Every structure is written in structure tokens, then in C-alpha cells.
Amino acid sequence: MEAQEAAGRGPGANETEQAAAVTPDAGAASTGTGASATRQGAAVSGPGASEQAALTGTGVSPGAGYGPAHVLVGDIPEPDKEARHDGDAAAERARAERALDEVAADLEARGARAGGEAEEVLGAQAMMARDPGLSGEVGALVDQGVAAARAVFEAFGKYRDLLAAAGGYLGERVADLDDIRDRTIALLTGLPMPGVPATADRPFVLIAKDLAPADTALLSKEVVAAFVTEQGGPTSHTAILARAMGVPAVVGCAGATSVASGTPVLVDGAAGTVRLSPSDDEVAQARQADEARRAVLSAATGPGRTADGHAVPLLANIGGPRDLESALANGAEGVGLYRTEFLFLDRETAPTGEEQEAAYRPVFEAFPEGRVVVRTLDAGADKPLAFLPPPEEEPNPALGERGVRMFRRYPEIMAVQLGALARAAAGTSAKVQVMAPMVATVEEAEWFATACRTAGLDSPGIMIEVPSAALRAADLIRAVDFFSIGTNDLTQYALAADRQVSAVAGLQDPWHPAVLDLIALAATAATAESKGCGVCGEAAADPVLACVLVGMGVTSLSMGAPALPWVRAALGRHTLDQCRAAAAAARTATSAAAAKAAARAELPGLAALAL
Ligand code: PEP
Ligand code: MG
């Protein structure tokens, strides 16, 4: 699933079909995750948050969406703490089990109707509803006399706490669990089933604390103009499904659920703004910008290159074969980051070599003339894998055993993955390259390169995600064939701002000149050895920053496929010299915002994209 677009904002799905910038400087607010409500001066009426002209959060799927707010709030009240059943525990237990079963069956049926990504998401949610541990917990409470609805509430509470404590991808599954709980309680108490209307006279802006897959699965662009949630991050289901649907979305938007249902709302899914009761002019401007952008985006086709013909291969970030369709549809020239851990996030046991081969081969076959860069398992921190647990509790998982460190701890897992990759690569004409995440030292780079070559994989590379690796890139590049810069982690470590802690999200900005300097060091070191240095972090998906990266010597850009048309268009509107001037200007700035502003001033072609 597009969870692999996890780590930050990037243009979402199908922008070419529906994108629009609301303001000429839409990008300027794009890293804003402070989720603060800001007054921006428009005349609005109505109670509560409607008195504020705009709310801001994190834009996770770009484009403009306009329509009346449909707010989902407090659907199912908490069952009474003291609620007891009539004494027939067996009957009450059976009732609870039937309700859970019915909820699971309904989720599966919705999934089957929706198909594709939604089917998998809902299938996973149905599995949660059928979890024997959960129903055992409910049964035990019922045996103590607790009424079924209350027992469900309490049993789910325990699981919820566990997931929330795990944080990251697992933490963001809390909304799924709450949804199952609420649906089960609704069945047990006769309350109406919570949810979203599947049809509407005119598209609405769906606002919620957080959205569960069941809410969104049957929705379409015809019904929903945009999503806005108070909670959730870029890996929440709202973000994933919004991108897959091509619907603008803003998450982490504080105060959103106090907007009155029916309030007209204009959402900018790139800037992360939610404008309440916008003027007709603002709406008309957003529509115009949308049309203009659409024309520019669809006019940019072919391989990535600057206006003066400097080639910059544009590659896709994928998490598995299912992402190929979008990669190909958006004109990816290959794959720059295959996040293999996403194949195995929900596995209890390590995948076999055969299973892995089956997941790698179709990706290689999809790009017979292209390059496919596979990243070895990046387990730990924000991507925990049950079958690769850290050996001890880590107070700072991002600084613990993750990435290549974990790979070294489990050599048998590494041998199986490299073997599977070598076998799958053997039968393909694609240029297969393998890289390790989280490399910090020359010794690690050499160790990984040797392991790859021993396995028959002759083009090993490393990700530059740790400042030490960037600072000593000139030493590391000698050990490997190429670099790929993971700007999500590089930013996290350069600014000491955990990418999972929303309170420090403002520091998680790859535009920061310190990050730009580190990128430049890596690119310069690779160029000196005539080796490639790509970027595969979210920075590559920002069309403005993409120009700056190229100006710093980055040789390829890899991103979530929906961002490709934007980056292709932005690059195609500027010469290499303009990109270099933008990079130089950005690096003389002293803040992320100033760097962006300085770069933009050197990139006149952005105006045509309303960026
Ligand atoms: C990165 O860190 O920029 C990167 C591409 O890897 P991930 O987001 O999967 O950690
Ligand atoms: Mg990373």
C-alpha cells in the first residue's frame, strides 16, 4: 500500500486529474504540521471554528477541494461503566461474538465491493475484528458479569493502548480499531451504524477526528471533494486512501471537527490549509489555478530532463508490485526505492526466499529497460517488523538497531533476501541495484558491498540518511557503486527531530540549509568518482526542491508515483544553470523558509504550475 509514501508530504495520487493550487505560494506552507488554527482575514460567519477563516494542518494529498463540510463527530457514546448483563454469560458472550463476526463480515463485503487497495485495507481490519485474543478478552469480561457492549469497549481499550504506545505505522492503526469497536457496540446496543454517506447531491468535504478504512472505502471523487482530519499523520489511512483516490487531504488539522456541518470549505491539500466560507473569488481562483496546472502537467511528458536537456531520470518509490500500475501510469523510468519491508509489515514470521522472489520478479519485469533499486529490509524504529525485533527495549528506536544494523544482527535473514534478489535479478534485463538503509560508517558500507557481491549482486549502493555518512561521503563512495539520499531520515538526524513526534514536525524540513549542505556533500563526493547520487526521500517529490537537488548535482529523483508529473514539469521549465543558481541561493539562506524563498526567486517557470 502507499504506506511506503509514509514519511512526509508529497504530491498525492492523480494530481494530473484534479490538482489545484489555492494560493500562488501554495508550497510555502507545505511543511507546516503545526496544526494551528490561523486567522487569515476572510469574512466568515457561523459558530465555533467557523469564526476562524482558516485552519492549517499537514497537506498529504494535493489539489483543491471545495464543498460543504460533512463532520463526523462522537458517533458512538461510551457504554455505561456499570453496565451488567442479565446473568446468562454464555448467551451474552455469543451475542458479542456474533456482533464481532458481523462487523468483520461487513468489512470484508465492503472490501470486496471496493476492490484494490481498499480490499486489502478492509481485509486487514476484518482480521483485527476476528482476532481470537480480542474476543477472548471480551469473553473474560462478560464472564465477570460485564455487559457485552461495555466488555467490547474495555477489551478494545487495552489493544488500543498497545497500538498507540507502539507509535508509527502501528499507532496509526488505532483509528481502525476504534472503528471496529464502534461498529460492534452499535450492533450490540441498537445504535445507528457510524459512518459516512456513500452518496451526496454535491461533493462534500469530509471532516473527522480520524478516518477508518471502512469510512472511506466506498467513497469516490464524485462524492468527496476533500478529506480533513484532526489526527493522523502522513501514514494514516486517510492519507493513504486519499492519495490513492486522488482526493485532496489535510491531516493533523487541529480544531477541524468544530467546523459546523454545512459550512462551505475550500481545502488545499498541498499547502495544508482549510479555508472556511471562502469568498467566490477565492473559489474561482482555485478553479482557475487548477485548470492552468492541469494543462501544464499534461503537457510535460517523456523522460526527466531540464529545459536544456540535462537528463535526470525520474523514478518511482514503491512498496510492492501493486504500486507498479501507478508508477507506469505516471511515466516512471524505473524504481528508485523499493521499500521491501512494506511487503512484510504484517508478518509474524520471516518471508521465505520464494515468497520474496515472487515479489521482486514482477517489479524487475515491469522495467525491462530501466533501473530498479531495491532497498534491503529497513526494520526498526518507524517500520517495526515482528520477525526482526530489536534485542532489547530501546528508549530511542530511531537511534537504535535499525536498518543495516538490524540486518547485521540477523545474517540469516540477510542471506535469504540477497539470495532471493540475486535469483530474481538473474532472469531480467532490468538493471537491478541493491542498497542498504541507515549506513553510518565506511566499515558498514564495505561490509554490505561485500555481502551483495558475494550473493551475485554486483551493483551495491547505500542510502545517505545519517549525517556521518554525508559528512564522510568521499570515503563511503569508494566502497559502493552509488548513493541514494534518504532525506526523511537525513533531516530527522540532522535536525535531531524524531519524524514520529509531531511536536517537532516543524523542524522536519529538508529545505533547512543544514540538510541542503549535507546533500551537496554527498552529491559532490559521488560526482568526483563519476558515480550516481539519487534522492529518494520526500524531498524529491517537492517540485521546487527537486530543481534545487538537481542544481546540487543529484543525478536521479525517486518519489511516490503521483508526484512524477509535477517534478517532470518543474524540471522541464528550468535550465541546469537555473537549478544551480537556485541551489546556490538556497544554501546561502539561514532558514528553511528563506532557502525556499531564495530558490523560488531563481525559478521563474514555477509560476506556470501555480507553485
Ligand atoms: C528516507 O529516509 O528518506 C527514506 C527514503 O527512507 P524511509 O522513509 O523509508 O525511511
Ligand atoms: Mg529512511
Mean pLDDT of the chain: 84
Give the residue, by CA position, lying nearest to ligand 1 atom 10: 489
Task: Flag whether pLDDT at 237 surpasses 80.
Answer: no
The 10 Å CB-count burial string (b at 16+, else e) for 340-377 is bbbbbbeeeebbebeebbebbbebbbbbeebbbbbbbb
Q: Note the pLDDT of residue 47.
A: 36
Give the residue, by CA position, lying nearest to ligand 1 atom 4: 486
Q: Average pLDDT of 239-268?
A: 84
Q: Ligand 1: which atom is nearest the Cα of residue 537? A: 3
Q: What is the pLDDT of residues 211-230, one digit of tens each?
A: 876 676 677 778 899 999 98
Q: Average pLDDT of 182-197?
A: 79
Task: Flag whether pLDDT at 256 surpasses 60.
Answer: yes
For the segment(s) 89-189, the CATH number from 1.10.645.10, 1.10.274.10, 3.10.450.50, 3.40.50.2300 is: 1.10.274.10
Q: Note the pLDDT of residue 444.
A: 97
Q: Ligand 1: which atom is nearest the Cα of residue 489? A: 2
Task: For residue 293, name the pLDDT band (cuts at 50, 70, 90).
Answer: confident
CATH superfamily placement of domain 311-609 = Phosphoenolpyruvate-binding domains (3.20.20.60)
The alpha-carbon radius of gyration of the chain (Å, integer) is 24
Task: For residue 492, report the distance from its CA to the centre of ligand 2, in Å.
Answer: 9
Task: For residue 603, report the distance from its CA to the centre of ligand 1, in Å.
Answer: 27
Tell which wins on pLDDT, 443 or 28: 443
Q: Note the pLDDT of residue 46.
A: 36
Give the residue, by CA position, lying nearest to ligand 1 atom 6: 486
Q: Note the pLDDT of residue 11.
A: 31
Task: For residue 193, name the pLDDT band (cuts at 50, 70, 90).
Answer: low
Task: For residue 488, report the distance from its CA to the centre of ligand 2, in Å.
Answer: 6
Lowest mean pLDDT among 301-305, 334-338, 381-385, 537-541: 381-385
Q: Average pLDDT of 302-313?
A: 98
% of the chain residues with pLDDT over 70: 85
**C-alpha–C-alpha distance, residues 20 and 610, integer Å:** 8
Q: What is the pLDDT of residues 32-59, one digit of tens each?
A: 222 233 323 222 233 344 444 789 988 7
Name 464's bridge partners.
485
User: Which of 341, 438, 536 for a ligand 1 pocket mutation test, highest count of atoms within 8 Å of Cβ?
Assistant: 536
Task: For residue 480, name the pLDDT band (cuts at 50, 70, 90).
Answer: very high
Lowest mean pLDDT among 90-99, 284-293, 331-340: 284-293
Task: For residue 88, report the distance from its CA to the centre of ligand 1, in Å.
Answer: 53
Q: Ligand 1: which atom is nearest the Cα of residue 337? A: 5
Active site residue 533: no
The answer to whether 407 touches 463, Cβ cutoff 8 Å, is no
Give the residue, by CA position, lying nearest to ligand 1 atom 1: 486
Grid cell at residue 583: 541551489
Task: For residue 195, report the distance from its CA to the centre of ligand 1, in Å.
Answer: 34
**C-alpha–C-alpha distance, residues 400 and 388, integer Å:** 13
**Domain positions in the chain:** 11-76+194-281, 89-189, 311-609
Q: Which of 536, 547, 574, 579 is catalytic?
A: 536
Task: Flag whether pLDDT at 423 surpasses 90.
Answer: yes
CATH topology (fold) of 11-76+194-281: Glucose Oxidase; domain 1 (3.50.30)
Q: 198: buried, middle or exposed (CB in 10 Å: 19+, 13-18, 0-12)?
A: exposed
What residues line ligand 1, using a CB cutoff of 6 Å? 7, 337, 339, 378, 465, 486-489, 536-537
Task: For residue 30, name the pLDDT band (cuts at 50, 70, 90).
Answer: very low
Three-state SS at 603:
coil
Supply the DSSP string of 44-84, one letter for each residue.
--SSGGGGSSEEE-EEEE-SEEEEEEEEE---SPPPPTT-B
Active site residue 85: no
Task: Flag whether pLDDT at 184 surpasses 70.
Answer: yes
